[in-house]
Structure 1
Amino acid sequence: MIQSFYRSLNKDFTLVKGDCIKVLSELDFQFDMIFADPPYFLSNGGISVQSGKQVSVNKGDWDRSQGFEKDNEFNRRWLSVCREHLKENGTIWVSGTYHNIFSVAQMLNELNFRILNCITWAKTNPPPNLSCKFFTHSTEFILWARKNKKIPHYYNYELMKQINGGTQMRDVWQMPAIGRWEKTCGKHPTQKPLPLLARIIQASTKENAWILDPFCGSSTTGIAANLLKRRFLGIDREKEFLEISVKRRKEIDNLVICMNYRERICKFADNNLQQILELHDNTPYFGNDLPIK
């Protein structure tokens, strides 16, 4: 049986250290939804701005391109194993930029997923372009696809419409990048904002659903999932990032912090979220559990 790196008391948050392809090949379990933030292949020696300071865009060896064919093969392999662990009516969300998103889209089609949307996340606070020789990079893309072309997926249309002021939500989402309040336990170089993951989770899952993140990093997906009464498995190779994940999960056991985060999510979610959710507790969830120690 697979050994966990960490499990919360009520087993709604599980972390495993390792390569996602290897870990998932040993796991007999299917998830309601997958969110994946795979390598973007953009660690190319460039520079950017962070907190007003010039910084390198290099994230680590895991984010370096290995060439067109190897990058494509990598995307094919992890998407293939994720497909095997997705329920027949399940959906997958994959984030990226032009560096990797076209490869991901190609592999999704080759693996017989049905792409539902390409969400454009338009950042309201992007870093400036230092060279002043081209347009400022201010967007990322998130592909949403379902596993089975013939089996309907879950979409909370009415809630998304409510969040959007009573009109159909479009595929362009204007949201800020992560704020300081999301870095209290440490920093991950590609960390996604909680409001973004909260919207994704609310749009495509019901309460008590199981959510997988095969490149979990500091586990924004898992924190959003738990705040929204979903269950989570995160996989990552880096111990440093998993330790940040553990701190973040323990942080929301503090009811004051938990409610503060929910209030912040409310700014970008429905106004009645407080009424929908009860205070976080350690009551065990009903239903199936992960076959992980």
Structure 2
Amino acid sequence: MGRTKPAWTTDSENLVVHADNSEVLPRLPDGSFTLIYVDPPFNTGRKQARQSTTSVRALEGEGDRVGFKGVSYSTLRGALRSYDDAFDDYWGFLEPRLREAWRLLADDGTLYVHLDYREVHYAKVMLDAIFGRENFLNEIIWAYDFGGRAKTRWPSKHDTILVYVKDPQKYHFDSAEVDREPYMAPGLVTAEKAALGKLPTDVWWHTIVSPTGKEKTGYPTQKPLGVLRRIIAASSRPGDWVLDFFAGSGTTGAAALELGRRFVCVDANREAVKVMRARFGDAAVVVPGVKKPR
């Protein structure tokens, strides 16, 4: 049988695909995206029914891909399963999609994985195995201050964004394009520096999307444009392709449009696609997904 025709090429228009990403990602060509941002459902894997899978412990250096210190996928999977049986569900959901992300990144590409405190430690080990520990670039803490306040523990007011690169010698990062922040103690720097602002660190203080603001689309998990603008400005160039395969309300695509990047957004949720259709208008083509060949 011949090779399946790709669902998309880099000569295509901006694209919104209404489909499960597991059907779409294998149809995209290798190395096409300078930047991939994903904001997966934080607890989807733990809510799914357990799959009937067999975990084989491989010897050091064996397995279908070797991660840090020569440890294979199957060794890590087995170790984590013994630590927490629920992990196997999350691995089964997220791992094949992150492996596709590695394949789809260009050599100078960067992956941003947005998670919360409940799953980020699992994803970190998983990404170390897929990308290699040496390709871990940053752990970004997005801190915000809105919503309920717990009385019996420290209130949870941050998300974590894990950043991995395809090649630590080639990845694109341009700090000159990043928005600047006010100094917390402007009196300790010169007036010129205070007026310019400082480059962000790996802790980002940024409000959530205002429930009454113009940016609000009504989609429940919408992320703020300011966070995605910063990511896209730093890790891609004008004209580069950006991929988000848990696209939700389409904030990645909206930020890409503002900054002159091209994008592919994928989501299986009908309401998400409806929001993106309204948000992008004629700037993107909306298509149904392509089923995997039998």
For normalisation by structure 2, the TM-score amounts to 0.70
2:107 counterpart (88, 91, 94): 88
2:214 counterpart (157, 171, 181): 181
| Aligned position for 2:244 | 213
| Aligned position for 2:91 | 72
| Residue segments in structure 1 that go unaligned for 5+ positions in a row | 5-9, 42-60, 254-281, 285-291
**Equivalent residue of 1:119, what SS?**
strand
Query: What letter corresponds to residue 165 of structure 2 in structure 1?
Result: R
| Aligned position for 1:56 | none
Partner Cα separation in structure 1 for residue 174 and residue 7 of structure 2: 34
1:159 counterpart (154, 177, 185): 177
- Superposed CA RMSD in Å reads 2.6
Measured after TM superposition, the shift of residue 158 of structure 1 is 2.4
**Equivalent residue of 2:256, what SS?**
helix
Query: 5 Å matches for 1:70-149?
Result: 70-113=89-132, 114-123=135-144, 125-129=145-149, 131-149=150-168
| Aligned position for 1:258 | none
| Worse-matched range after superposition: 28-37 or 10-19 | 10-19
| Worse-matched range after superposition: 209-218 or 98-107 | 98-107
Partner Cα separation in structure 2 for residue 39 and residue 148 of structure 1: 27
Query: What letter corresponds to residue 120 of structure 1 in structure 2?
Result: I
Is this contact kept in 2: 1:90–1:147, CA < 8 A? yes
**Equivalent residue of 1:178, what SS?**
coil
| Aligned position for 1:55 | none
State the Cα deviation string for residues 40-73 of structure 1 (Å, max 9, x = none): 01xxxxxxxxxxxxxxxxxxx7883652111023
Query: What letter corresponds to residue 14 of structure 1 in structure 2?
Result: L
**Equivalent residue of 1:182, what SS?**
coil
Measured after TM superposition, the shift of residue 128 of structure 1 is 1.8
Partner Cα separation in structure 1 for residue 261 and residue 280 of structure 2: 13
1:36 counterpart (14, 38, 42): 38
Partner Cα separation in structure 2 for residue 175 and residue 65 of structure 1: 32
Is this contact kept in 2: 1:3–1:16, CA < 8 A? no
Q: 1:168 to 1:3 in 2, by over 3 A?
A: closer
Partner Cα separation in structure 2 for residue 63 and residue 187 of structure 1: 26
Query: What letter corresponds to residue 243 of structure 2 in structure 1?
Result: L
Is this contact kept in 1: 2:35–2:241, CA < 8 A? yes
Is this contact kept in 1: 2:116–2:160, CA < 8 A? yes
For normalisation by structure 1, the TM-score amounts to 0.70
How many aligned residue pairs are there? 226
Is this contact kept in 2: 1:216–1:234, CA < 8 A? yes
Is this contact kept in 2: 1:122–1:174, CA < 8 A? yes
Residues 1:239 and 2:258 aligned together: no
| Aligned position for 2:52 | none
| Worse-matched range after superposition: 214-223 or 28-37 | 28-37
State the Cα deviation string for residues 69-112 of structure 1 (Å, max 9, x = none): 11023221110011111101100001111112112111110012
Measured after TM superposition, the shift of residue 11 of structure 1 is 6.0
Is this contact kept in 1: 2:140–2:162, CA < 8 A? yes
| Worse-matched range after superposition: 20-29 or 210-219 | 20-29
State the Cα deviation string for residues 152-188 of structure 1 (Å, max 9, x = none): 21111223385564544311111000123122xx422
Partner Cα separation in structure 2 for residue 39 and residue 192 of structure 1: 13
State the Cα deviation string for residues 177-221 of structure 1 (Å, max 9, x = none): 0123122xx422211001110011101111011000010011100
| Residue segments in structure 2 that go unaligned for 5+ positions in a row | 50-85, 183-195
Larger radius of gyration: 2
